[in-house]
Amino acid sequence: MLVDISNGQTLFSREEHRRFVPASVTKVMTAYTAFKLIDEGKLRPDARFAYSQELEDAWYNEGSNMFLRAGEQPTIGQLLLGITTVSGNDASVAIAVAATGSLDSWLELMNANATQLGMRDTHFGSPNGFPDGGQTYTSARDLALLGEAITQRYPSLYHRYFGHRTLRWRDITQANHDPVTGRVDGADGLKTGYTREAGFTFLGSAKRDGQRLVMVLAGSPDGGLRDRTARALLNWGFDEFERETVIPGGAKVGDALVQDGTSESVTLETGKPVVVNLARGQEDKRIDMEIRYRGPVQAPIAAGAEIARLRLTLNGELAMEVPLVAGADVPKANALQRVVNAWKKWLA
């Protein structure tokens, strides 16, 4: 799947709602959960965590590893780098215990965040994607939502912890397996994954000239194939489309009916310009638009409030949906105004 999150347009998708095992791509949600706690002031990057013998016994050299030892006291920031750079299974469990005291509590946070982001085909049974009997699963659409959320909601933390090429812990230096950062112009993350059950998976992102793409690739039988395809898909998304503004920002595109307001309707406007990616050289470029909302909209309504969606289809295929905002305030009608409105509707 390839999505331009700058405008919400899907550039390519295949079986986007099909559930699959994400393997270590799970760690992007662990990073997101940590970023959210840091942003809320509930977790400090410089706070230290005493790594226990129990954790070492359970996780030392188990798959991808930061190779933490009992008695070491890494900071939360170092654990995050261990997760995002070298895919540390041990670092993922460590940050879960450090932040909440238990894996169960951490998993509750991960799944609550998934629900909040609208990841309907996702469940997390571990903080690192280690095989867990099928408890952890996701979809391409859901991972695209996660990629959008982590890059847009926490951009400074994202740039601080993603995109590093190597990590040194004690006398051990390891390389990042991210196949696009440093190889595709504008690429800056995110995360690879592999287990025998999952195959080779990747959630990636790149930004050029204010346009950010997020891509998902899952179930590849070969790591080299995954890496080449990831680079090709991102480059294709930037190189083979031209951006066209089809509606300027602040333009009136229609009206919505209002319930119990001082006005019977309110104008619907675009909050920002509506930009569409069009395939280069494509002669037939038919764009259709449809306004959708649950109405009538209950007053009071504040100007600028998102109350409808504009659905755009390109040559009959759904391209994207963009929010529409109220163009004016509509106060709640008083008792007399409601009577007058009722009579108007009856007479009509």
Instruction: Tell whether 110 and 70 lie within a shared domain.
Output: yes
Instruction: Tell whether 263 and 196 lie within a shared domain.
Output: no
Final residue before a domain boundary, out of 183, 209, 238: 238
Tokens of residue 177, six digits: 């397996």
Task: Specify burial of residue 253 (Cβ count, 10 A radius: 0-12, 13-18, 19+).
Answer: middle
Least confident of 74-83, 85-94, 166-175, 281-290: 281-290
Tokens of residue 180, six digits: 């696009």
Q: Is the pLDDT of residue 328 over 60?
A: yes
pLDDT of residue 315: 86
Instruction: Tell whether 191 and 316 lie within a shared domain.
Output: no
Q: Give the mean model confidence (pLDDT) for residues 259-278.
A: 92
**Of 214 and 347, which is predicted with more confidence?**
214
pLDDT of residue 277: 93
pLDDT band at 284 (very low <50, low <70, confident <90, very high): confident
Instruction: Tell whether 261 and 223 lie within a shared domain.
Output: no
Catalytic residue among 6, 13, 36, 87: 87
Q: Is the pLDDT of residue 244 over 60?
A: yes
Q: What is the CATH number of the domain that holds 169?
A: 3.40.710.10
pLDDT of residue 348: 57
Residue 232 three-state SS: helix
- Domains contained in the chain, number: 2
Place of tokens 């997020």: 214
Final residue before a domain boundary, out of 210, 238, 266: 238
Tokens of residue 238, six digits: 């930037």
Q: Is the pLDDT of residue 339 over 70?
A: no
- Percent of the chain predicted with pLDDT > 90: 88
pLDDT of residue 80: 98
Q: Give the mean model confidence (pLDDT) for residues 61-72.
A: 96
- Vertex 330 angle, CA 327 and 335, to 5°: 165
Q: What is the pLDDT of residues 74-127, one digit of tens each?
A: 999 999 999 999 999 999 999 999 999 999 999 999 999 999 999 999 999 999
Q: What is the pLDDT of residues 133-157, one digit of tens each?
A: 999 999 999 999 999 999 999 999 9
Q: Is residue 27 annotated as a catalytic residue, yes or no?
A: yes
Q: Could you tell me the residue range of the domain that residue 48 belongs to?
A: 2-238
- Percent of the chain predicted with pLDDT > 70: 96
Instruction: Tell whether 196 and 311 lie within a shared domain.
Output: no
Q: Is residue 87 annotated as a catalytic residue, yes or no?
A: yes
Q: Is the pLDDT of residue 200 over 80?
A: yes
Instruction: Tell whether 156 and 282 lie within a shared domain.
Output: no
If one counts every other C-beta atom within 10 angstroms of the C-beta of residue 3, the result is: 27
Task: Provide the b/e sequence for 34-59 (b: ≥16 CB within 10 Å).
Answer: bbbbbeeeebebeeebebeeebbeeb
* Residues in binding site: 191
Instruction: Tell whether 63 and 198 lie within a shared domain.
Output: yes
pLDDT of residue 295: 80
If one counts every other C-beta atom within 10 angstroms of the C-beta of residue 254, the result is: 15
Q: Let me know: does 194 contact 210? Beta carbons within 8 Å.
A: no
pLDDT band at 333 (very low <50, low <70, confident <90, very high): confident
Instruction: Tell whether 55 and 189 lie within a shared domain.
Output: yes
pLDDT of residue 77: 98
Q: What is the largest CA-CA distance in the chain?
A: 83
Q: Give the mean model confidence (pLDDT) for residues 35-40.
A: 98
Q: What is the CATH number of the domain that holds 305?
A: 2.60.410.10
Q: Give the mean model confidence (pLDDT) for residues 156-175.
A: 97
Q: Give the mean model confidence (pLDDT) for residues 183-189.
A: 96
Instruction: Tell whether 186 and 319 lie within a shared domain.
Output: no
Instruction: Tell whether 234 and 261 lie within a shared domain.
Output: no
Q: Is the pLDDT of residue 338 over 80?
A: no
Instruction: Tell whether 59 and 179 lie within a shared domain.
Output: yes
Q: Give the mean model confidence (pLDDT) for residues 213-219.
A: 97
Final residue before a domain boundary, out of 211, 238, 265: 238
* Residues in binding site for substrate: 191
**Of 341 and 201, which is predicted with more confidence?**
201
Mean pLDDT of the chain: 94
Instruction: Tell whether 224 and 271 lie within a shared domain.
Output: no
Q: What is the pLDDT of residues 41-54, one digit of tens each?
A: 999 999 999 999 99
